[in-house]
Amino acid sequence: MGLLSDKICLVTGAASNPGLGHAIAHCFAAEGATVIATDVDADGAKATADSIKSAGGRASSWRQDVTDPDGWQATLGRIRDDYGRIDAVVNNAGIVVLKRLEEMTLEDYNRQMVVNMTSVFLGTQSAVAMMRETGTKGSIINMSSVAALVGVIGVTAYAASKGGVLGFTKAVAAETAPEGIRCNTIHPGMIATNMNKQAADENTDEYEALTSAIPMGYMGPPKTIGDAALFLASDLSSYITGTQLVVDGGMINQ
């Protein structure tokens, strides 16, 4: 029996490989979960689900724009129809705009906030409503960042969005704890994903400054975040809510 046997788990932003959502989906499936992988990139989400099934796991996928309230209702409604409940939701979908304050436009800022923060609000609100409806003592995992905990040059809007995720999650955890619904954040440092590669291509100087600040000396593999999410989704963390799990190779320990 796996840590997530018979659990129904939604992972957003699951298309990119290597990526956090892809790794989380695989970690969950390997521990017995039925995984629903969603992404605005429907083909990429399907590829993630197909790779899980090829490895003997259970998965399905479809396109989801996490900034669309109607899309959230459709996604949770489909999960309710197909499985009857949701046990864990990982609000992982996100983007990064790597710019200093003087270079940041209002359009950049607004796009960063709606994808990284508003989507988490929509996903958490929808998940809590369904968990309450079905009486499920579930786990909601919201992806934040070390940028929410320490000052990092060149990530002004990104830091604002991830700091919002942190504060929002703590408030939700306080509201839902009496019902056994847990809500926590994960704070990745520099992880070897496609999103970080894109950030490096767009602003090499800022990216090199960030990577040079990793005490362990290397970027973490995506599976390290998958393992952290697995812990928070499983009963191993049954008495943990409103906390932040930092996975950063020691970046904030400076």
Q: Six-digit token pair at 48?
A: 């993630």
Say which of 83, 158, 207, 239 is annotated catalytic. Answer: 158
Exposed/middle/buried for residue 239 (C-beta within 10 Å: 0-12, 13-18, 19+): exposed
Q: Please tell me the distance from the alpha carbon of residue 216 to that of residue 61, in angstroms, as a whole number.
A: 35
Cis peptide before 215 (omega within 30 of 0): no
Pick from 157, 156, 160, 67: which is nearest to 109 by CA?
Answer: 157
**158 classed as catalytic:** yes
- Closest listed residue to residue 228, CA positions, set 176, 195, 173, 185: 185
Q: Which residues contact 181 (CB under 8 A, 6 or more apart)?
A: 128, 131, 132, 136, 137, 138, 139, 140
Catalytic residues: 158
